Amino acid sequence: MDQISTRQSLPAEPRDFGFYVDGARVPAAERAVFIRHSPAHDVPVTRIPKCTEGDLDMAVDAARRAFDDRRWSGLSGQARAAVLLKAGALIRARAEEIAYWETLENGKPIAQARGEVLGCADMYEYASGLARSLHGDSFNNLGDGMMGLVTREPVGVVGIITPWNFPFLILCERVPYILASGCTIVVKPSEMTSATSLILAQILTEAGLPDGCMNVVTGSGSTIGQAMAEHPRIDMLSFTGSTAVGRRVVEAAGRSNFKKLGLELGGKNPQVVFADADLEDAADGVAFGIAFNTGQCCVSGSRLIVERSVADRFAEMVRDKLAKAVTGDPLDEATQIGAITTEAQNRTILSYIEKGKEEGARLICGGGALDMGQGQYIAPTIFGDVTAEMVIARDEIFGPVLTILPFDTLDEAIAIANDTDYGLAASVWTKDIDKALVVTRRVQAGRFWVNCTLAGGPELPLGGFKQSGWGREAGKYGVEEYTQIKSVHIEIGKRRPWIA
Ligand code: NAD
């Protein structure tokens, strides 16, 4: 096969990003480095330091000083908002550069990456308003001698651990809200995709964020990630990743300082399609929900729960949609489906596809790797005749693999949708408002979509039910997560003595 055509050229040599502490880039110097290859082009693109636990201590100390001396939390909401607004503008101005590095490290289509980056700018702009409107409560009904206040205070130093599937987006669903609350931050991005977190740190400094308020330490999860979960001077940790590692983070927090935790974990998300839906719209949405970001989304709609009377016809409609999606070089503007991000994930997805075949599911399309001449690609895959016990119906595959489970009644559809340990997201497709509302009420999921899927934005919170996580990110709820509540009683006038 011919070399894939590229619009933007690949870097001549891998770029050194260093790491970021106390308002300045720190070069790798003598530290070991991790060389990241583009999963779409097989060439080295970035060199990232493998930070030591000493480096982490340095970053936590910087964040601790910045929090404790109130250089950020002591500012007015107006002053914090000004920094967040400037950051939004700088992200817009550097959107092309951020999207380029995101695509090179992650393998996602450049047009998609650009859209995500611009969406992130909007998060800073929205959160700037929240910095000004964050407030508590008051009780003026405690009698003439007493007034009560409920104030919100920032939690302190927040650690953020992110995965490789949406490196910039997931970070930006947290950072502006955390900064709006007045906290300071230490980030550990996935070792596969650190570049754009480091660009963000520079942008925040340029936007006027005081030194030490945003630090980025790079390295592996088992060393730096684990050390963050155990760190006694980190007050709260926002972890996004697999449920298995989430469990380890909970144990580590319990062993150390009982830090507050936010957890965004896995999903096995249902797409419930009724026969009365606009099937054309639903087929497009289901195809998008499983193939967007090559199915490497915590909220991918990976279980199609479809009314039996239309199941075969609908499966063909989704198959035909997927056949038209453009898979290819993610640097090409026309590409809709890019490469699989990591070698390990590529192996995992392919092994689940083989498992589906062994389990006796009916392969409707896809079924293996796609040879694009370079890089690692997998064809969007649909399995029919799937039963609830099959591994492919239960495990989060985190790839473009759709399993179809038919239903006959509304109650059955809801039971199948809830038959999972996860509860991250769900969609329902129907033109019957009653059915839509019943399903929305009864399916356990933190995010719900009616006649759409994967919709998002800065206003609405994110988070999961059941084993998909704890807490919420984004929106006003996202700012409040990073605050703790203090209740204040204020006596008015002369105290009624206890001792006469
Ligand atoms: P992962 O759990 O392997 O890694 C996530 C992050 O945790 C990485 O930065 C990694 O270096 C770090 N890590 C690894 N071991 C650690 C440890 N012992 N202590 C602390 N940190 C550690 O996940 P991944 O493979 O990067 O991402 C895929 C998973 O993430 C999927 O399960 C997916 O559902 C989940 N995810 C969830 C959301 C969400 O919002 N719910 C979003 C994206 C991804």
Residues 85 and 159 in one domain: yes
The per-residue pLDDT for range 77-132, each reduced to its tens digit, is: 999 999 999 999 999 999 999 999 999 999 999 999 999 999 999 999 999 999 99
Please work out whether the CB of residue 221 comes within 6 Å of at least one atom of ligand 1.
Answer: yes
463, two tokens:
């988070």
Domains identified in the chain, total number: 2
State yes or no: pLDDT of 56 exceeds 60. yes
Distance 362 CA to ligand 1 centre (A): 31
State yes or no: pLDDT of 1 exceeds 60. no
Please work out whether the CB of residue 249 comes within 6 Å of at least one atom of ligand 1.
Answer: yes
Q: How confident is the model at residue 5, as a pLDDT?
A: 46
Between CA 174 and CA 180 the distance in angstroms is 10
Range of the domain at 165: 15-265+468-486
Distance 163 CA to ligand 1 centre (A): 5
Please work out whether the CB of residue 266 comes within 6 Å of at least one atom of ligand 1.
Answer: yes
State yes or no: pLDDT of 342 exceeds 80. yes
Report the CATH number at residue 73. Answer: 3.40.605.10
Residue 444 lies in a domain: yes
Between CA 177 and CA 104 the distance in angstroms is 27
Q: Which atom of ligand 1 is nearest to the CA of 342?
A: 25
∠6-8-12 over CA atoms, to 5°?
100
Residues 223 and 369 in one domain: no
Q: Which atom of ligand 1 is nearest to the CA of 248?
A: 18
Residues 376 and 477 in one domain: no
pLDDT bracket for residue 7 (50, 70, 90): low
Q: Which atom of ligand 1 is nearest to the CA of 164?
A: 26
State yes or no: pLDDT of 3 exceeds 50. no
The per-residue pLDDT for range 356-411, each reduced to its tens digit, is: 999 999 999 999 999 999 999 999 999 999 999 999 999 999 999 999 999 999 99
87, two tokens:
């950051």
Indicate the helix (H) or strand (E) that contains 438.
Answer: helix 433-442
Q: What is the dihedral of CA 170, 171, 172, 173, to 10 degrees?
A: 50
The per-residue pLDDT for range 122-169, each reduced to its tens digit, is: 999 999 999 999 999 999 999 999 999 999 999 999 999 999 999 999
Q: Which atom of ligand 1 is nearest to the CA of 166?
A: 43
Residue 408 lies in a domain: yes
Please work out whether the CB of residue 230 comes within 6 Å of at least one atom of ligand 1.
Answer: no
Query: Over pLDDT 70: what percentage of the chain?
Result: 99
Query: Over pLDDT 90: what percentage of the chain?
Result: 98
Residues 260 and 280 in one domain: no
Residue 337 lies in a domain: yes
Residues 230 and 375 in one domain: no
Residues 215 and 277 in one domain: no
Residues 441 and 476 in one domain: no
The per-residue pLDDT for range 200-231, each reduced to its tens digit, is: 999 999 999 999 999 999 999 999 999 999 99
78, two tokens:
């107006």
Q: How confident is the model at residue 245, as a pLDDT?
A: 96
410, two tokens:
């509304």
50, 108, 190, 224, best to mutate for ligand 1 pocket (most atoms within 8 Å of CB): 190
Please work out whether the CB of residue 51 comes within 6 Å of at least one atom of ligand 1.
Answer: no
Residue 458 lies in a domain: no
Q: How confident is the model at residue 324, as a pLDDT?
A: 97
Please work out whether the CB of residue 445 comes within 6 Å of at least one atom of ligand 1.
Answer: no
State yes or no: pLDDT of 2 exceeds 70. no
State yes or no: pLDDT of 4 exceeds 90. no
Residues 206 and 277 in one domain: no
Please work out whether the CB of residue 229 comes within 6 Å of at least one atom of ligand 1.
Answer: yes
Please indicate whether residue 264 is annotated as part of the active site: yes
Residue 154 lies in a domain: yes
Residues sharing a CB contact under 8 Å with residue 183, sequence separation 6 or more, in sequence order = 67, 73, 154, 155, 156, 157, 158, 235, 236, 482
Residues 274 and 247 in one domain: no
Residues 431 and 472 in one domain: no
Q: How confident is the model at residue 227, as a pLDDT?
A: 98
Are residues 188 and 217 in contact, defined by beta-carbon separation less than 8 angstroms?
A: yes
Nearest CA to ligand 1 atom 34: 266
Residue 495 lies in a domain: no
The per-residue pLDDT for range 412-456, each reduced to its tens digit, is: 999 999 999 999 999 999 999 999 999 999 999 999 999 999 999
The residue annotated as part of the active site, out of 102, 116, 173, 264, is: 264
Please work out whether the CB of residue 245 comes within 6 Å of at least one atom of ligand 1.
Answer: yes
Q: How confident is the model at residue 8, as a pLDDT?
A: 82
